[in-house]
Amino acid sequence: MFHIAQYFPITDPTLIFFVVLLIILFAPIIMGKLRIPHIIGMVLAGVLIGKYGLNILERDSSFELFGKVGLYYIMFLAALEMDMEGMKKNKSRLLIYGLLTCFIPFFLTYGMSIWLLHYSAKASFLLSCIMASNTLIAYPIVSRYGLQQKPSVTLSVGSSMISLLIALIMLAGLVASFSKHDGVLFWVFFTLKFAVYCGVMIMLIPRLTRWFLRRYSDAVMQFIFVLSMLFMSAALSQIVGIEGVFGAFFAGLILNRYIPHVSPLMNRLEFIGNALFIPYFLIGVGMLININLLFQGSHILWVVFCIAFFGTLGKAIAAYIACLGFRLPLSSGHMMFGLTSAHAAGSIAMVMVGMHLLVAPGTYLVNDDMLNGVVMMILITCIISSILTDRSSQKIILRDKELPDAEDDKKVSDEKILVPVKYPEYADNLMNLAFLVRNQKLNRGLICLNVVYEDKDMRYNQEQGRRILEHCSQLAAATDVMTQTQVRIAANIANGIKHAFNEFQCSEIIIGMHMHPEVSPKFWGEFHQSLFNGLSRQIIMARIRQPLNTLRRIQVAVPSRAEFEPGFYRWLERLARLAGNLDCRIQFHGREESLALINEYIKNRHPEVRADYTQMIHWNELPQLASQISPDHLFVIVTARKGTVSYKTALERLPEEITKYFSGTNLMIIFPDQHGDSYGDQLTFAEPQHQEEISAYESFLQWFKKKFRK
């Protein structure tokens, strides 16, 4: 009789590596659907395949090797990504807040561990070190809102560095205390060794780095050299009697100034770590977690509650004391608490150190309860941090009333429009739209692009693309507009467009909406969503069913808080030019405060444009506009990307509402400029570029509604 269980756990190294790669590939997709942080997702995947889960994989020596590398890599990258210059500007405030956010959670957690969880002094000390540090898991949210220079943010970033450094030094002392020799003489000798180690590293690594990077420019050699410095520092720290994670972190601090954040070397370091070493380490951690303990009484739930509550309470107390002491607004206190409350990879790294410290034969400092409690605490604090940081970011923007500058000459003069064209039947309307919204005074040319897949039909599609672009050039020549054309080969259409956008240094994209259900049944098609998620610059998607010069009216739906987005005046300028060139009336629907700024801009910059303004109190009123839109109107929807100040959950229903109420109308959807990396190439494991269009919960809710309507 066939028994599938006889083939598990898998012990063959090749199959183990294959299964791990499959997990690394598919876990972000699944976790994106479930809206679970990807770091936690990898740990949960490890739980599932480990001996306490489905027992699919054997935890062989590869997990030990890659796990150790991943552990050091996490701490090394954390140090490399620190803003050392920013710390020097506010030394006193940073030091005060750093000490508060380190020692208040430390002492609260220590007392809780001793009196409520009844841990030993050393186990309590380790748990306190974990809760004293924090990870800036929510920092990408701040970047999206463009608040990096706010005092609350710079204080949070600097204090996180200080608290992590102090926590690692205390951890080093804890590890050293497990030596066979103890006493005053031991600690004097340990302090001396620690000082000598730090001094040698500070003297040696910079000199070696400067010599090597000046002498050798080969990318692979530079990468290997940096890794060598990392593991040399970790190895020497272990020889001295300090845990290797401190050595890795210290190497990152020393190398910080020699590896710029936007350099190719940094990109390679992050890529290798985020693609292989760190996921491998996190999966290995998950395989050690005994999930069965969660179902053996309420004790584990009590452990999780105590660790998460007291650690988070300590961070909150520190944040609000600093906020009051530095005389910052309350919303800044919320921001400081949100940014410093999360724990992630650093906590896992420290708890793994404890799992190798023997307190008695066969007994380690960290037991299963503490390991499970720390992992669940990470999930809880990541959720709290993300929600609180997002809300406080919006409050700070609204509090400071930081509107984009309508007189910003740099933004006015940076115009260079990219027009990707795939289907010849849409080429005319897209080109005409680009002619009408461009600034004729600047006399900048258009970039026309055709991207083809690298497949068996590539040559044929290239030829078809050249013909479409030749037609586009003829249209431009007839209106005396210069054009540059390119047929590009790519394995991914969205990436092809993004790379062309960066190469030509474009300011915005005008592209046709997806209208071929036989190619993809999704509203956004195969690649449109990847495009607007991967670029923070303005993207105009158009579905024009008639010649533009026959349009009688432009109707524009403006979301609330749109005026706080950095791209507010760019899309407004484009629509004003379109209305002026077509000599048609334009009607804006939105909140009073948004309409007032639009009215002021139109009057000052385009007094010839005939504009009307209608209040739309709530975005839920959007379907009601369908009755006002005639076949010869152009309906423009100004939307927003997730995690921005004007984004609202109602925008998630936009594809359904357009399909239901506006299926036959001339339509334009605008994704305005947002704060963030315009190149879309930032790579962090905590904030991957891949985003799922709809969560699993929303899919289930839609299915449930359809099922029970019948």
Please count the structural domains in the chain. Answer: 3
Residues 97 and 61 in one domain: yes
Confidence grade of residue 442 (pLDDT, cut at 50, 70, 90): confident
Burial category of 479 from C-beta neighbours within 10 Å (exposed 0-12, middle 13-18, buried 19 and up): exposed
Mean predicted confidence (pLDDT) in 21-26? 87
* Residue-wise pLDDT tens digits, 611-637: 999 999 888 888 889 888 898 999 999
Q: Are 496 and 574 part of one and the same domain?
A: no
Same domain (yes/no): 247, 369? yes
Average pLDDT of the segment spanning 701-708: 65
Q: Out of 434-448, 637-651, 689-703, give the one with best mean pLDDT.
A: 434-448
Kindly report the pTM of this predicted structure: 0.70
Q: Is residue 366 part of a domain?
A: yes
Together in a domain, 82 and 144: yes
Distance CA 183, CA 196 (A): 20
Phi/psi region, residue 238 (left: phi>0; alpha: psi -120 to 50; beta: rest), is alpha
**Rounded distance between C-alpha atoms, residue 543 and residue 669, angstroms:** 9
pLDDT at residue 187 is higher than 60: yes
Each residue's pLDDT tens digit, 303-349: 989 999 999 999 999 999 999 999 999 999 999 999 899 887 678 77
Mean pLDDT along residues 80-97: 76
Structural domain ending residue among the three candidates 536, 562, 587: 536
Instruction: For residues 320 and 417, state if they share a domain.
Output: no
| Highest-scoring range by mean pLDDT, 72-76, 173-177, 185-189, 546-550 | 546-550
Task: Centre a 10 Å sphere on the Cβ of residue 630 and count the other Cβ atoms it contains.
Answer: 13
Tokens 């650690």 belong to which residue?
311
**CATH number, domain with residue 261:** 1.20.1530.20
Among 98-102, 169-173, 371-375, the range of highest mean pLDDT: 98-102
Q: Check: CB of residue 508 under 8 Å from CB of residue 537.
A: yes
Please report the pLDDT score of residue 697 as a whole number.
53
Half-sphere exposure of residue 677, counting CA atoms within 13 Å on the CB side? 15
Residues 528, 395 share a domain: no
175 in a domain, yes or no?
yes
User: Is residue 665 situated within a structural domain?
Assistant: yes
What is the DSSP code string of 170-216?
A: HHHHHHHTTSS--SHHHHHHHHHHHHHHHHHHHHHHHHHHHHHHHH-
Average pLDDT of the residues in 117-133:
92
The reply to whether 414 and 393 lie within a common domain is no
Do residues 133 and 337 touch, judged by C-beta distance below 8 A? no
Does 524 lie in the same domain as 471? yes
Same domain, 395 and 416: no
Question: In CATH, what number is assigned to the domain containing residue 630?
Answer: 3.40.50
**Residues 462, 592 share a domain:** no
Q: How far is CA 28 from the centre of its chain?
A: 13
Taking only the tens place, the pLDDT of each residue in 238-279 is 888 777 777 888 898 899 888 887 778 888 888 888 788 878
Domain boundary among 480, 501, 536: 536
User: Is there a single domain that holds both residue 260 and residue 225?
Assistant: yes
Average pLDDT over residues 213-217: 86
Tokens of 680: 């879309």
Q: Confirm whether 695 is domain-assigned.
A: no
Closest CA to 385 of 649, 160, 682, 111: 160
- What pLDDT shows up at residue 431? 92
The residue range of the domain holding 160 is 10-402
Are the C-beta atoms of 618 and 653 separated by less than 8 Å?
Answer: no
- Residue 698 maps to a domain: no
User: In this structure, is residue 268 part of a structural domain?
Assistant: yes
Q: Pairing between strand 508-512 and 483-490?
A: unpaired
190 domain residue, yes or no: yes
Say what the pLDDT of residue 682 is: 46
Residue 160 in domain: yes
% of residues, the chain, pLDDT over 90 = 29
Contacts of 302 by beta carbon, 8 Å cutoff, 6+ apart: 117
What single-letter DSSP state applies at residue 612?
E
Cα–Cα distance, 345 to 353 (Å, whole number):
13
Percent of the chain with pLDDT over 70: 88
Separation between Cα atoms, residue 602 and residue 575, nearest integer Å: 10
Domain harbouring 497, CATH code: 3.40.50.620
Query: What pLDDT band is residue 677 in, cutting at 50, 70 and 90?
Result: low
Q: Is 322 in the same domain as 338?
A: yes
Predicted confidence (pLDDT) at residue 214 exceeds the cutoff of 60: yes
Indicate the average pLDDT of the chain. Answer: 83
Q: Are 480 and 388 in contact (CB under 8 A)?
A: no
Question: What pLDDT is attached to residue 108?
Answer: 96
Least confident of 38-42, 245-249, 255-259, 400-404: 400-404
**What pLDDT sits at residue 599?**
92
